[in-house]
Structure 1
Amino acid sequence: MLDQQITADKSSAGAASDTNTVDRALKPAHLKRLRFIFSKGRPVHVGTLGPMDLDLLAAGMLKCPTVDDVLGRSASAVLAITELGVRTLKVDLDARRAVCDVHHTLGGRLAHWLRETKGRMTWENVTFDRDYSTRLALDELDGWYQARLDVVACAVTPTARLADIAAYEVKVSVADFRADLANPKKLAASRDIAQAAWYCTPMGLLQPSQLPEGFGLICEGKTGDFTVLKRAKRKKDFEPHRDTLMTLVRRRATVPESAE
């Protein structure tokens, strides 16, 4: 049985409640199953019931009403989400939104610091594409073809050769950082797009020794106060690819106030 506790008023199970707290021992696979059934907006017919369904049924997050065909025989197993299941998904959604808010606000503060302290132009949440012909020309057909970077910064200059483009990946959890390490294409994209690649985290989250080869580390101590713990390795004679430049031109930069 699912090792799960829901803090709720059992005597008012039919009433909506936003004070429930879900034990984070609930496995991601259970939440994925709940989200799938919720997304259908109606009871879902399934061929067979599995152990995961049993966990959720026993926890009261799913129900399995009997559906009969015209001959009076059981047509198939049917799963429907309960109010408890809906509240569980809402608590999980709020928790994930809170993490995203922390992530985005840290990225925003980093971009502001780069502009006003370092005099750099910045972009936030930029998606870069590398099409088939580009990968073919670079002999990297199995390489990355799309990547989203949290913050990109470059010098205020009209010359691409002097742009000194830097890519910053913002991390607010060790799990998110480990997911990057497990995705070599994501790491390669940061290196290919920019002359220098960095990680930005809250102070104490990561140590410089944990970083992939060539990456730098910048950390926030007090709010808005950033410290470089390890400098990124800058590539010599680097010129950004035309696809990178077109992406940045299309998105337009936020420039330092002194440059406006």
Structure 2
Amino acid sequence: MTPLTLTRFHRARLMQIWRSAGWPCKDALEIDLLAAQLVVLHTSPEGCETLRLTEEGIRTLAQARQRGARALSAHDRLGQKFAGHLLASGRIVWRELSLRAVIDGAVPEAPAPIPATSSPLWSEDTPASRTAANVWRMARPDLFSVRNTSVPAYLQPMVHEIKYSRSDLLSDLRHDAKRQAYQWLCEECYYVFPAGVAEPDEIPEHFGIWVLHGGLDDGRFELLRPARHASCTLPFAVWMALCKATPLRGEDETAQAHLGEPGAGELPPADMP
């Protein structure tokens, strides 16, 4: 028998079978997986059919995940790790959304060049845009999150910018327009980087700071400085972007309560209306 060449669709189906009750779809993908002996069809005494991963199927899935983890850059791994930290605290998290933001029209005429390791958050400034009173820019925060709540006043939108290296952080700090865009989109804005990359007094005081102590696999996060809070109502354009994007999944989404609803385990801060 010719070995099966696994595609991303095969791997996705294996993960779906692993995470679900394994109800068969009876499609071509399942024929491939059954023939490769990565899954087995089980029939209960009542005649109910379900699919189960074999030992080879589990091993194949684990190897695919390990390859994916190795392919991630250190920046992506740090972002993924902090996203998990936010999800565990009960927030809804999106990665690298493209969001429209308003900034002050007084943009520096000659911004410092961006290193190749740092991707621009929006298109280059034009002379016409610099003379406008307010300028729209497309911002791409690394992590954008809101509280899991049904009450708009409790959303507390946040932006977290991930900076794994000092050069990437300093490049970002040289662009005031980017920081203005981050702040316009949220109530609190943070920089997240490994311990030792920068000192707190190098970061503008209205930004909060999270640092990672230890490695990307077993390190822990510490809040060095809370961000300055500023009330923010999410604009309609941001709501539309959130509706069209898919948030990250937590380990157990069903355990999250909605703030402001009966039985919610977390109460809003005392200073909120």
Aligned to 1:228: 223
Counterpart of 1:39?
Answer: none
1:108 Cα deviation (Å)?
0.4
2:93: which partner in 1?
122
In the alignment, what sits opposite 2:198?
A: 206
Q: Distance in 1 between matches of 2:243 and 2:155?
A: 13
Question: C-alpha separation between the residues in 1 aligned to 2:73 and 2:84?
Answer: 16
Give the C-alpha shift of residue 158 in structure 1. Answer: 2.0
Query: Are the counterparts in 1 of residues 142 and 162 from structure 2 also a CA contact under 8 Å?
Result: yes
Q: Matched residues in 2 for 1:163 and 1:254: separation?
A: 17
Match of 1:176 in 2: 168
Residue 140 of structure 2 is matched in structure 1 by 148
Report the Cα distance in structure 2 between the residues aligned to 1:144 and 1:99, rounded to whole angstroms: 34
CA contact (8 A) 1:144 1:186 kept: no
Partner-residue secondary structure (3-state), 1:252: coil
* Coordinate RMSD, CA, aligned: 2.6
Q: Does 2:248 match 1:254?
A: yes
**CA deviation after TM superposition for structure 1 residue 100, in Å:** 7.3
Residue correspondence of structure 1 range 150-169 to structure 2 within 5 A: 150-169=142-161
Name 2:76's counterpart in structure 1: 104
Normalised to the residue count of structure 1, the TM-score between the two structures is 0.54
8 Å CA contact 1:110–1:224 kept in 2: the answer is: no
User: What TM-score results when the alignment is normalised by the length of structure 2?
Assistant: 0.52
Instruction: Using the aligned pairs only, state the percent identity.
Output: 23
CA distance in structure 2 between the aligned counterparts of 1:172 and 1:99, rounded to whole angstroms: 16
- The alignment partner of 2:77 has SS state of helix
Matches of 2:134 and 2:242, distance apart in 1? 24
Greater helix proportion: 1
Give the number of the structure with larger relative contact order, counting CA–CA contacts within 8 Å between residues 6 or more apart.
Answer: 2
Q: Alpha-carbon deviations, 1:112-145, whole Å to 9, x = none?
A: 01111x11111111111248xxxxxxx9654341
State the structure with more CA Rg.
1
* SS of residue paired to 2:181: helix
Q: How many residues align?
A: 155
Matches within 5 A, 1:1-260: 101-116=73-88, 118-130=89-101, 141-222=133-214, 223-236=218-231, 238-260=232-254
Instruction: Verify the 8 A CA contact 1:127 1:147 in the aligned structure 2.
Output: yes
Distance 2:252 2:149 in 1: 14
Look up the SS of the partner of 1:146 in the other structure: strand
CA contact (8 A) 1:217 1:231 kept: yes
Checking the alignment, whether the CA contact within 8 Å between 2:207 and 2:227 is kept in structure 1 is yes
In the alignment, structure 1 segments of 5+ residues that lack a partner are: 1-97, 132-138
